[in-house]
Structure 1
Amino acid sequence: MAWDCGWACVVALLLGAVALLRLALRWVRADGDLTLLWAEWRGRRPEKELPGKVVWVTGASSGIGEELAYQLAKIGALLALSARRQDELERVKKRCLEISSLSENDILVLRLDLTERSSHEAATKAVLQHFGRIDILVNNGGRSQRSLFVDTSVDVYNAIMELNYLGTISLTKHVLNHMIERKKGKIVTVSSVMGIMGAPLATGYCASKHALQGFFNSLRPELWEYPGIVITNICPGPVQSKIIHNVFTEELTKSLEKPGDQSHKMSTDRCVRLTLVSIVNDLKEAWISDNPYLAVCYLWQYAPTWAWWLLGRIGKKRIQNFKRGVDADASYYQKVAA
């Protein structure tokens, strides 16, 4: 009997180890936090929840914003597309019409500069006049950064905060007034995993995203009287988009000379799909990233002392990559030639 019990325990331990290994392997392959992946598996679907919804997307002329426009158009959402470049917005609208059953009037192109805060009230009224309502605001407009603090003008930090932070909350304020009147709506802000952790070469960008995280996490409980208004923070990691081509550098007038290869990063369409899943399932926050960034998010959340130690090591690699003219994140995904 003792022998049988002993072997039974061994078998049970082996089965348990196999189950844990499978879970670990699944987590290693994960591209979103566990709450988000559960919502993708068992939650509400964008195809059922978003048709006919009026969605205003800022930063819609490229990258995540452009892909959001395409996926929302295919689903059948009504779109207000904003960015600074009118011609690029018209290009995105044309493509949306080609890939969907939407009509010309279902897509409003509205040029908008987030730094021109005096224009935000009129822009909001223009969307309301066209559609009669705003169901979802997606705060996606913004710029990243690639420069060392010691080399960077303070004017750059002022511009980053003006665009990424103040411009976003200014537009939100006008749209929120409308949603409060209706007692429903969704405000979705594309933050970043750098709104959770820190990273060298992006001190100003990280600061702006931390500011957005703090603002919207504080705004959410202020709206307790309006349970129909949902605040969602989306935190993508490195994504294949043109954001790296338009980053702030050490001077306002200087562009990044060598953006490097971006193919190792998460595809934009996958990031947007998970963003839409987050929106329809009313998630308060979603981490969307491949590893190792996703693993570092968990570490930063639950073991910050280890996260600081790790950042000190991988931060050195980011700076070395940057100085050699390759993408700062490249060495996490592939070997970089010496």
Structure 2
Amino acid sequence: MLFIFLIFLALFIYFVLNYDADMTTIYSEKYGQNLKDFYQGKTVWVTGASTGIGKAVAIEATKNGAKVIISARRENMLNIVRDLCVKQGAQKENIMVLPLDVCDTGALKPAFDQVLQTFGKLDILILNAGRSQRARWEHTDLQVDRDLFELNVFSVVALSRVVIPHMTDKKSGHIAVMSSSAGKAGAPFSGSYTGSKHAVHGYFESLRNEKVGSGINITMLCPGPTFSDLLQVAATEKPDESFGESMTAADKRMTAERCAELSCVAIANNLPESWICFKPVLPLMYASQYMPSVSKWVFQKFLGPKFLAKVRDSRNAMESDKYK
């Protein structure tokens, strides 16, 4: 038995050090649902689709035959995404540009009505709109917390509540929420953001358990560091302020395209949760999930907040002059 355990442990260590997602996601990618078979003819609505992961998810879905609605506040950026989808082989009439401020809850139902008028149904809602943060916990103005929860939590919940009756009536549908590795553990210098991502897990885990047997599926997507304009627009300690730093090509981050591909795999295979990241974030997530006391002790005794800040941003972003 000890020999078998040691073999399993060796294989597990090899996996978390060499793959870029959790075991179930990688298995599904290799042996699960074919993406073209799954997405062909499906109607997919992606929020936050103008840049980053949302943009890449929209392109990946159209590449596999889906009809896609792309939403964000900037229509000109959405038009660029639409053109990229067409270059991937999509028909222009199968890409709906739907400008939307998801925090404007009064606009959500009319927007969904436009989706139904155009395509007649919605199969998959991918809730990607959100904002990150770089800030010291005790210096953060409470308005920053409120603003981040408005976007990262309440807009997500509100749009889901608009869409769920439609999915309930047709007894099928899938809601995918773009959470974060910060939704599974505490990310230093991102207290408001981390709290918002933990909150959506609570909301949607509850929803999943309520909807057992209804035909409505929930997937929580948890990417680690990914290339995007996240640092430029991240919230800080002060209301209406952006962090304003840029990622570099040397940063240790997953591409948005790879993150999108794995996200689409997780949805197609109806995974309840998917961790999309590589070392050292992936092993840290496994440790946090399955050895919480040990992992917290190691962090407190040997690693510390600057280590995790460097893991996330390939540098300790909080050492910027603006915080000295």
Whether the TM-score (by the shorter chain) exceeds 0.5 is: yes
Match of 2:87 in 1: 98
Within a 5 Å distance, the mapping from 1:1-338 to structure 2 comes to 21=10, 24-100=13-89, 102-226=90-214, 228-261=215-248, 263-312=251-300, 313-317=303-307, 318=309, 321-325=316-320
Evaluate the alpha carbon distance shift between residue 220 and residue 22 of structure 1 in structure 2; reply closer, same or farther with a 3 A threshold.
closer
Q: Which runs of 5+ in 1 are unaligned?
A: 1-11, 327-338
Q: Amino acid of the residue matched to residue 289 of structure 2? A: Q
Evaluate the alpha carbon distance shift between residue 56 and residue 17 of structure 1 in structure 2; reply closer, same or farther with a 3 A threshold.
same
Matched-pair contact (CA < 8 Å) for 1:271–1:288: yes
Output one character per residue of 1:98-152: Cα deviation in whole Å (capped at 9) or x when no partner.
Answer: 221x222111111111111111111111101110000000000000001112222
- Range 121-130 or range 254-263, more displaced: 254-263
Structure 1 residue 218 displacement after superposition: 0.5
* Higher RCO (CA < 8 A, seq sep 6+): 2
Q: Which runs of 5+ in 2 are unaligned?
A: none
Output one character per residue of 1:71-99: Cα deviation in whole Å (capped at 9) or x when no partner.
Answer: 11211110100001111001111111122
Output one character per residue of 1:23-58: Cα deviation in whole Å (capped at 9) or x when no partner.
Answer: 532331121111111111211121211011100000
Matched-pair contact (CA < 8 Å) for 1:55–1:136: yes
- Range 292-301 or range 277-286, more displaced: 292-301
Cα distance between partner residues in 2 of 1:323 and 1:104: 44
**Number of paired residues?**
312
Cα distance between partner residues in 1 of 2:163 and 2:304: 40
Output one character per residue of 1:215-246: Cα deviation in whole Å (capped at 9) or x when no partner.
Answer: 110101111240x2111111111111112221
Q: Which of structure 1's runs of 4+ aligned residues deviate more than 6 A?
A: 15-19
Structure 1 residue 292 displacement after superposition: 1.2
**Identity across the alignment (%):** 35
Question: What value does the CA root-mean-square deviation take over the aligned residues?
Answer: 2.1
Structure 1 residue 18 displacement after superposition: 7.2
SS in 2 for 1:187: strand
Q: Amino acid of the residue matched to residue 140 of structure 1? A: N
Output one character per residue of 1:292-337: Cα deviation in whole Å (capped at 9) or x when no partner.
Answer: 11111111111111222344324133288123339xxxxxxxxxxx
Q: Amino acid of the residue matched to residue 256 of structure 1? A: F
Evaluate the alpha carbon distance shift between residue 24 and residue 303 of structure 1 in structure 2; reply closer, same or farther with a 3 A threshold.
closer
Matched-pair contact (CA < 8 Å) for 2:128–2:178: yes
Cα distance between partner residues in 2 of 1:104 and 1:250: 42
Flag the structure with larger Rg.
Answer: 1
Q: Please report the TM-score for the alignment, with normalisation by the length of structure 2.
A: 0.91
SS in 1 for 2:218: strand
Q: Please report the TM-score for the alignment, with normalisation by the length of structure 1.
A: 0.87
